[in-house]
Amino acid sequence: MYERILVPTDGSDVAEVAIDHAVDLAEKYDAEIHALYVVDVDAVSFGLGAEQVDRIRQGHFGEMDELEERANDATGAVAEAAAEHGISAVEEVRVGRPHAVIADYAEDEDVDLVVMGSHGRAGVSRAILGSVTERVLRSTHRPVLVVDYERED
């Protein structure tokens, strides 16, 4: 039923819960996992100049080591969880508007299922940007499993 499962990740606790679900499904269906981190240029452009944003759009992080490290850590966590269960994983970092990049990736890679958290960001940035998950649901015709996360007190 599922051959390719996409896990968009931002490295948050919510994404970690989605990873667990994706790995479980991949193991059951002998599927490949695709880990996708999207650098949201709209969000990072507030603190950067136009030249730096253009370089990021081209995939050149340059002095943005922290951003590149965050992306690699997030996709690496997915690949590591997959490897622990003998599941093949593909890691990808892309630049753009997260919901559009996720929907396009799912289409381009013929993904059978997208597994993502109900929300990753919190606070003001989430309110300004809106829910990526909600936008993905409206932007793709691929099945999407939305994993909710309850913070333990």
pLDDT digits 0-9 by tens, 12-22: 888 899 999 99
- Please report, as a single letter, which amino acid is at residue 78: V
Note the CATH number of domain 4-147: 3.40.50.620
Residue 62, burial from CB neighbour count under 10 angstroms (0-12, 13-18, 19+): exposed
DSSP state for residue 63 in the 8-state scheme = T
Strands (DSSP E) found in the chain: 4-8, 32-40, 89-96, 113-117, 144-147
Cα distance between residue 124 and residue 28, in whole Å: 38
pLDDT of residue 95: 87
**Whether the Cβ atoms of residue 25 and residue 87 lie closer than 8 Å to each other:** no
Domain ranges across the chain: 4-147
Mean pLDDT, rounded, for 77-97: 95
Half-sphere exposure of 21 (CA within 13 A, CB side): 21
pLDDT of residue 43: 54
Cα distance between residue 3 and residue 84, in whole Å: 18
CA 41 from centre of chain: 14
CA terminus-to-terminus distance, the chain: 37
For tokens 């990072």, the residue is 44
pLDDT of residue 67: 77
pLDDT of residue 68: 80
pLDDT tens digits for 97-133? 999 999 999 999 999 999 998 865 555 444 433 488 8
Mean pLDDT, rounded, for 139-149: 91
24-53 exposure pattern, b = at least 16 Cβ within 10 A, e = fewer: ebbeeeebbbbbbbbbbbeeeeeebeeebb
pLDDT tens digits for 53-73? 455 555 555 545 677 888 999
Question: Considering the entire predicted model, what is its pTM?
Answer: 0.81
